């Protein structure tokens, strides 16, 4: 471990002990992002959801370059609950092709344990 308590790549604990899955998505309105965040946490799909924004997204869509204001949700969950969390997001989302990025990350063992206990009971 380094001085901040994060594992060095060479001495990282085995998978599961310090992993946290981060799931990102965006919504066109803040109220939609907050409603999603509250449902994911209430139903224990996510331990916490951070809502940022507004952010500006620039992307290709149906042959044109679009610029849109959006609100980003960053969800923290466990490996076991990640599929349920992504399914819940898709069920709440109004976009035809929503951004849904799932990343396995490493955290301090205490934070990872809190995430697991928050979503897995």
Under a CB-based contact definition with an 8 Å cutoff, are residues 107 and 13 in contact? Answer: no
pLDDT digits (tens, 9 = 90+) for 27-77: 999 999 999 999 999 999 999 999 999 999 999 999 999 999 999 999 999
- Asked whether residue 116 is assigned to any structural domain, the reply reads yes
pTM, entire model:
0.84
The answer to whether residue 9 is domain-embedded is: no
* Residue 60 maps to a domain: yes
Exposure of 77 by Cβ count < 10 A (0-12 exposed, 13-18 middle, 19+ buried)?
Answer: buried
Number of structural domains found in the chain: 1
- CATH of residue 75's domain is 3.30.70.120
Domain membership of residue 100 as a residue range? 18-120
Q: Which has the higher per-residue pLDDT, 8 or 119?
A: 119
Closest C-alpha to 69, from 23, 32, 22, 103: 32
């Amino acid at each position: 471990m380094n001085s901040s308590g994060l594992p060095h790549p060479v001495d990282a604990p085995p998978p599961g002990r310090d992993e946290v899955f981060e799931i990102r998505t965006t919504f066109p309105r803040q109220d939609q992002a907050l409603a999603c965040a509250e449902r994911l946490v209430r139903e224990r799909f996510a331990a916490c959801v951070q809502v940022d924004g507004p952010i500006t997204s620039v992307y290709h869509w149906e042959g044109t370059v679009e610029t849109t204001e959006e609100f980003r949700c960053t969800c923290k969950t466990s490996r076991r609950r990640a599929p349920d969390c992504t399914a819940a997001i898709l069920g709440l989302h109004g976009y035809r092709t929503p951004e849904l990025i799932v990343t396995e990350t490493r955290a301090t063992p205490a934070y990872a344990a809190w995430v697991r206990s928050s979503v897995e009971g």
